[in-house]
Structure 1
Amino acid sequence: MAHYRASDSKREQYRRYLEKAGVVDSLTSVFVSLYEQPEKPTNALEFIKQHLGAVGQTSSETEALQQEVIDLRQRCACLVEENEDLKSRLQHYEPVSEDGGAAN
């Protein structure tokens, strides 16, 4: 019986460790999300992996990533505008022929 109690005590310590670390809450959240899906995904494991990763991110990490996305979109828009400007300038020096290629 002493062996049983030691094993039970270790389990209880491990359970408290998982709760304290937030693992139990994260897993519960992901499982609830999967349960509430109207159409169950074909690959439940992939769903859990994707959503578990999202649960683990802190709000500051998420905000930093969102800001990076905004910055990159603005940079992309500027580059597209610059590209259009350069194309029009180039067209001034190299008129396009009727077939769409540059005239020589």
Structure 2
Amino acid sequence: MAHYRATESKREQFRRYLEKSGVLATLTSVLMALYEENDKPNNALDFIKLHLGAADLESANTEALRIEVADLREKCNVLMEENKELRNRLMQYEPSPEEEAAGE
């Protein structure tokens, strides 16, 4: 029974935290807006994100990250090609470790 009370106490503390920080009021207002919609959206989660302001930030951040990843992949490919070319050029002037071991 003590475990139940401890869990209930933690839940109550968390509920007070959410209420104090304004999370409950904000979620309630967004859910009320969804409830009051005459034409319910197909995707309720997108509706909530949009009304919380997260949808625009997420899409902008996602697009920026996609562009950055594409740029970094291209740079990586260029550097890998350059590395391969430099290794080949180096091999013309220095024997490989295997050749050095065989020559000793």
* TM-score computed with the length of structure 1 as normaliser: 0.50
Moved >4 Å (runs of 4+):
none
Distance 2:13 2:49 in 1: 26
Distance 1:53 1:27 in 2: 12
SS in 1 for 2:53: helix
The answer for the alignment partner of 1:14 in structure 2 is 14
Give the share of equivalent positions with the same residue, in percent. Answer: 70
The answer for the alignment partner of 1:33 in structure 2 is 33
In structure 2, runs of 5+ residues without a counterpart are 55-104
- Aligned-partner residue type, residue 30 of structure 2: V
Q: Which structure has the larger Rg over C-alpha atoms?
A: 2
Aligned CA-pair RMSD:
1.1
| Bigger relative CO (Cα 8 Å, ≥ 6 apart) | 1
Deviation at 1:42, TM superposition (A): 1.1
Deviations 1:51-79 (A, max 9, x none): 0128xxxxxxxxxxxxxxxxxxxxxxxxx
In structure 1, runs of 5+ residues without a counterpart are 55-104
The structure with more helix, counted as a fraction of residues: 2
- Aligned-partner residue type, residue 24 of structure 1: L
Count of residue correspondences: 54
Moved more, 45-54 or 13-22: 45-54
The answer for the alignment partner of 2:47 in structure 1 is 47
Distance 1:47 1:23 in 2: 17
